[in-house]
Amino acid sequence: MAAWHQNSKAHASQLYTTSWGKLRNYTYSGYTGPYYQAFPTPNHAPLPFCLPLIIYSELNSTISITLSLSLSLSLSLSLSLFSLPSVEVSIMVLVESHGEKDGANDGAVVDFRGNPVDKSKTGGWFGAGLILGSELSERICVMGISMNLVTYLVGDLHISAAKSATIVTNFMGTLNLLGLLGGFLADAKLGRYLTVALSASITALGVILLTLATTIPSMRPPYCDDYRRQHHECIEANGRQLVLLYVALYTTALGGGGIKSNVSGFGSDQFDVTDPKEEKAMIFFFNRFYFGISIGSLFAVIVLVYVQDNVGRGWGYGISAGTMVIAVAVLLCGTPWYRFKKPQGSPLTVIWRVLFLALKKRNQPYPPHPSLLNDYENLKVPYTRRFKCLDKAAILDDNCAPNMQKNNSWMVSTVTQVEEVKMVIKLLPIWSTCILFWTIYSQMTTFTVEQATIMHRTVGSFVIPAGSFSALLIISILLFTSLNEKVFVPLARKITHNHQGITSLQRIGIGLVLSTAAMVGAAIVEKQRREVAVNKGVKISAFWLLVQFFLVGAGEAFAYVGQLEFFIREAPDRMKSMSTGLFLSTISMGFFVSSLLVSIVDHVTKRSWLRNNLNKGKLNNFYWLLAVLGLLNFLVFLIFTSRHQYKMQLPIKPESGEKELKSLNDEMIEDSEKKASIQAVGDVEP
């Protein structure tokens, strides 16, 4: 009996049954039910969605009176999450398992000699644990750099606040963008192991160079005392002094991007998802992966930031470099115990090929019926008339003689490939509205840290480093991630009678609202801080920054999971790794938009808003600008979500079926033609 699967706006689990499929129980977002394992598809490389789940959960953790108290509180929250069947883990396992099992027949698993693996001697927890060290070290390095770099640029290199913020956001944006490159190289050619090993080595080199750049005296301008700083007489670092710094930062970004996009996938490769025991172990791997990265992030923002500010930058970055070198050595030493999967090709290649062929055949006439398109009889997703121009990539022209060139993917695409590209394009409107959230988030690593430097940070006799206040963000994320699955989602299920509770788009919307509210709160706090400092000469407590850290952290707990879940659900089944790519690109673009926005504001206001001395600037106006943009972005998001058409699955006959796949598709097309006039009014292409 064939079952239709049609995604709706409130849909938590689905039943798929086909002639080639199999039905199995699966847990998703707290719901246990039937889950269809689709037809085997190429193992499109790492689906490192677990990575995102913490990679950007980087800036939160409650700063308490002492470092040990802060760390213990953070550990307790992380441990509570560790035992939680959280939505992040559910999402990661869903896609990883889906991708692995889909590709089980396409990518052989071998040992380092290229022989079939001996499960008793390779993989499992031992291999996965060695791999986890690479991501832990990458987190320590990147967080140790990004969360406190702005204070070094402003305080030691005497670079303006606006330019310093741009340097940090460009670094983080590039790191996430290069994650796409790392994923593509692993999928298409190098494989996950080689990509992770090379990327970790490059990261180690980058942090070593950064250690030298911040240690060598000639790489810094002359010291500037408080008197000269107040009168803007400090000498800014010149181009020659910044060369090594830039080389170090972008070398680290290159390596970090490669690790980010592959390490979780390589870790999951160490478990055989066809073995129930190992599949269960893989679920715990993602939990521990999340926990491990949280610890790395907390160590960086609490311990390393303290070392950088109170012992020396060279020592702080040197410790980061040392951990990365050790991680590389451990990774390489574990080579005989790993399981390897050969690269099966990147979905990006399919996308570019379809676009290229559609452009190449743009003058070709459309066939009288879609069934005349290449490989229509084997269509694996419903045919749609949206973006019809792309159908030309599947036209069999004179150069594609039947049974000769129709299988040449560079001569003609299949209808399935064309429809999959259409599905990716359909995600772009929602994708575009997710960017501004990360633009707001980036302020937590730049101007918010700058605010902390001129606020009261003393608790007893202990002075909390400005960069360590970002630990508030990490704790906020961990707290709300836990509350989502323990409180909010169960409550939403009772109210909506929907297993999913809160849909992915609703999560994103909540995250956008909270981020906008964070900027309103940040603007109010900054105005009050500046007025008290200027009029009374008093520094207010830096813990007032908890407002923006708390709201942005809460927003990330919703938006992060919502974006990831949305892209995973709506991406084509055979392009699941695209979900991670789309997710990473929103983060990357968010940081780049922040850089662009800071540059524009600095130019238009003639540097009156964003000044080195925040007491003489108007940072609150910049926060208000972000709040207004956030509100407008949310309204656009509502428009796009109201018009978004969720992915549908093709109905397919069972083995004893009564209809052919082709006839089912023809019925769908005929039905869509009958409703053409209605759809013309209701459908709005993105």
Q: Give 587-633 as a DSSP string.
A: HHHHHHHHHHHHHHHHHHTTTSSS-SSGGGS-HHHHHHHHHHHHHHH
| 37 confidence band (pLDDT: 50, 70, 90) | very low
Beta bridge partners of 31: 28
Q: Class assignment of domain 420-648?
A: mainly alpha
pLDDT digits (tens, 9 = 90+) for 589-638: 999 999 999 999 988 998 889 887 888 889 999 999 999 999 999 999 99
Give the start-to-end residue ranges of the domains of the chain: 110-345, 348-418, 420-648
CB 150 within 8 A of CB 466: no
pLDDT digits (tens, 9 = 90+) for 559-587: 888 887 888 778 776 666 666 777 888 99
Q: Is the pTM of this model over 0.75?
A: no
For 458, the token pair is: 């003393």
| 101 confidence band (pLDDT: 50, 70, 90) | very low
Cβ neighbours of 644 (radius 10 Å): 17
Give first-to-last CA distance, the chain, whole Å.
35
CB 269 within 8 A of CB 47: no
**DSSP readout, 398-426?**
TTS-TTTTTT-TTT---HHHHHHHHHHHH
Cβ neighbours of 198 (radius 10 Å): 18
| 403 confidence band (pLDDT: 50, 70, 90) | low
For 643, the token pair is: 């018009």
Task: Please list, residue by residue across 476-500, b when 16 or more beta carbons sit within 10 angstroms of its beta carbon and e when fewer do.
Answer: bbbbbbbebbeebbeebbeeeebbb
Domains 110-345 and 420-648 share a fold: yes
pLDDT at 247 over 80: yes
Give the whole-number percent of the chain exceeding pLDDT 70: 75
Task: Return the pLDDT at 75.
Answer: 36
- How far is the C-alpha of 135 from the C-alpha of 658, rounded, in Å? 51
- How far is the C-alpha of 160 from the C-alpha of 622, rounded, in Å? 16
pLDDT digits (tens, 9 = 90+) for 495-504: 887 777 788 8
Q: If 0-12 CB within 10 Å is exposed, 13-18 middle and 19+ buried, where does residue 188 land?
A: middle
Cβ neighbours of 306 (radius 10 Å): 19
Which fold, 110-345? Answer: Growth Hormone; Chain: A; (1.20.1250)
Helix (H, G, I), strand (E, B) or coil at 145: helix
